[in-house]
Amino acid sequence: MPLDFSHGMDGRSNDLIMAERAQRSTSLENPSVSLVDPVAWAAIFGEFRSAAGISVDNRAAMSVPAVWCAVTFISGCIAHLPLKLHRKSTNGRETLDTSNMAKMLAGAVNDEHLSSFKWRRQFMTSALLNGRGMTYIERYKAGDGRFLWPLPFQKTTVKRQQGKLSFNYRDGAATKTQHYSAGDVIDISMLDDLDGVGTFNPVETLRDTIGLAIALRRYASRFFQNGGVPPLAMEGPAASPQAVARAKTDTGEAVKQSSRSEDNILYLPTGHKLTPIGFNPEKAQMLDSQRFVVEEVSRIYNLPPSFLHSLLNMPFATVEQQDLNLVKHNIAHWCEQIESELNIKLFGSARGRYVEFDLDALLRGDLVSRMAAYAQAIQSAVYKPNEVRARENLPPGKGGDALYMNGAIVPIDPDDPTSTGAEGGEQDNPGDPEIDPNLPDPPPGPAGANPVDEDDSDVST
């Protein structure tokens, strides 16, 4: 008698045994499972399902094109902005390009060669999906930051112990939990909770909206998977239940075969007809509902619909205005929070040094606007020509370290001899001896010379 390997020694099926092993591996009783593992909590309380019956997590949310576009746009925008280190001086400020801190913020943030771009994009993605992005600061003995290490959201818990905020990191394979103080962790959040410890998770809080988007896409996919044919009802005489079942199977296969062969002719027995049940093809795609989902996602991440590539009923003038307001209403808020965290956590009470994003880099794509702004700044003595050339990665030019002003601009001080006159707007002539008493007397003429009267035309000799 052949052996049956489909059951265990105790008579349970292999599928049941594997399910129990998987449940034990994700159980919170397992020391290797993190207490913030969503899979473990879902095993106890059920999955995080939306009202549409869809299980929503970060990966499911990123399967929605509008969410993907919003997250990649904001995180990429913050990641590509130049982050510069400055120091206050008597002349205003100076940029520190050669210090170790500046090299770390602009180059690799740790010895694993994690670039500053990828580090910023990583914690921004965590903040946009989980509601929080965290980074641990490894310091020199003197206190300055040496390396930056991202802390995974799923493996880090935030608690307030004895009145102080602490970040507890525990890897799945580690047996010891690392405790970090709030002063050593860069904490970027989308929206803080009222208790000052937790944050709002946008994917979990708005799972109904995201679940609706996933459900709409799945419904449309199943619709087209069936060849675009809605559910059908066959009407006609039936001889027996067996004949009805056979007719159902044969008709279904015939519909699928017609769809594959692009043949619109389907033979039915005499006295039978097919009636579609449900939506028509246009309504089955739920285009209006999917457009509404795009608008909802734009509200979640405070992005204009044009940045989610939704230009329906939107003139180009409106798109241009949205582009101008993007920095003020979205990007500037994130930059201010990141700058504040970096300045407080990296430098503490030591004043003088600070980091700042260069938001002017957002104009790199518009050459005409950038050149016009540079020209206006140079003519108004705001920028030196070499400062503009440095922004464009060009070598300095001769005579470019001076400030220039348009020559048509003059002061309006009435006491200034170069300004316009106080009365009638006339300008004084500095060469007139009657007006300018400071002019020296004219040199005397030759000896014996008599002044000539220009009105006397008859001179005797």
Listed range (4-13, 283-292, 439-448) with the worst mean pLDDT: 4-13
> Other C-beta atoms within 10 Å of 327: how many?
16
Confidence check: pLDDT of 457 > 50? no
Confidence check: pLDDT of 45 > 70? no
Q: What is the pLDDT of residues 123-154, one digit of tens each?
A: 999 999 999 999 999 998 888 889 999 999 98
Q: 3-state SS string over 4-51?
A: CCCECCCCCEHHHHHHHHHHHHCCCCCCCCCCCCHHHHHHHHCCCECC
Listed range (46-55, 247-256, 350-359, 380-389) with the worst mean pLDDT: 46-55
- The mean pLDDT value for 303-307 works out to 85
- The mean pLDDT value for 47-51 works out to 58
Q: Cα angle at 18 between 15 and 24, to 5 degrees? A: 140
Match 């440095």 to its residue by tokens. 390
Q: Which two tokens stand for residue 45?
A: 């309380």
Listed range (116-125, 213-222, 391-400) with the worst mean pLDDT: 213-222
Q: How far apart are CA 149 and CA 138, in angstroms?
A: 8
Residue 17 — very low, low, confident or very high, per pLDDT cuts 50/70/90?
A: very low
pLDDT at 305: 83
293: closest CA among 74, 69, 57? Answer: 69
Is residue 155 within 8 Å of 134, Cβ to Cβ?
Answer: no
Distances (CA, A) of 15 to 3, 7, 25, 275, 431: 17, 9, 15, 42, 108
pLDDT at 225: 61
pLDDT at 249: 78
Comparing 190 with 322, the larger pLDDT belongs to 190
Is residue 263 within 8 Å of 305, Cβ to Cβ?
Answer: no
Q: What is the pLDDT of residues 244-280, one digit of tens each?
A: 777 777 777 766 666 666 556 666 667 777 776 655 5
Q: What is the pLDDT of residues 320-352, one digit of tens each?
A: 677 777 888 899 999 999 999 999 999 887 668
Q: How far apart are CA 229 and CA 267, in angstroms?
A: 16
Comparing 445 with 160, the larger pLDDT belongs to 160
pLDDT at 421: 47
Q: How far apart are CA 207 and CA 55, in angstroms?
A: 9
pLDDT at 398: 87
Q: Which two tokens stand for residue 15?
A: 């599928």
What is the identity of the amino acid at 167? F
Confidence check: pLDDT of 205 > 70? yes
Contacts of 260 (CB under 8 A, 6+ apart): 227
pLDDT at 109: 94
Match 């060849």 to its residue by tokens. 227
Q: What is the mean pLDDT of the chain?
A: 76
> Other C-beta atoms within 10 Å of 426: how many?
9
pLDDT at 290: 77
Residue 7 — very low, low, confident or very high, per pLDDT cuts 50/70/90?
A: very low
Percent share of the chain, pLDDT over 70 = 63
pLDDT at 6: 42
Q: How far apart are CA 419 and CA 410, in angstroms?
A: 6
Q: How far apart are CA 396 and CA 161, in angstroms?
A: 55
Q: Please tell me whether residue 159 adopts helix, strand or coil conformation.
A: strand
- The mean pLDDT value for 186-195 works out to 92
pLDDT at 19: 46
Comparing 371 with 278, the larger pLDDT belongs to 371
- The mean pLDDT value for 167-178 works out to 81
335: closest CA among 295, 353, 308, 362? Answer: 362
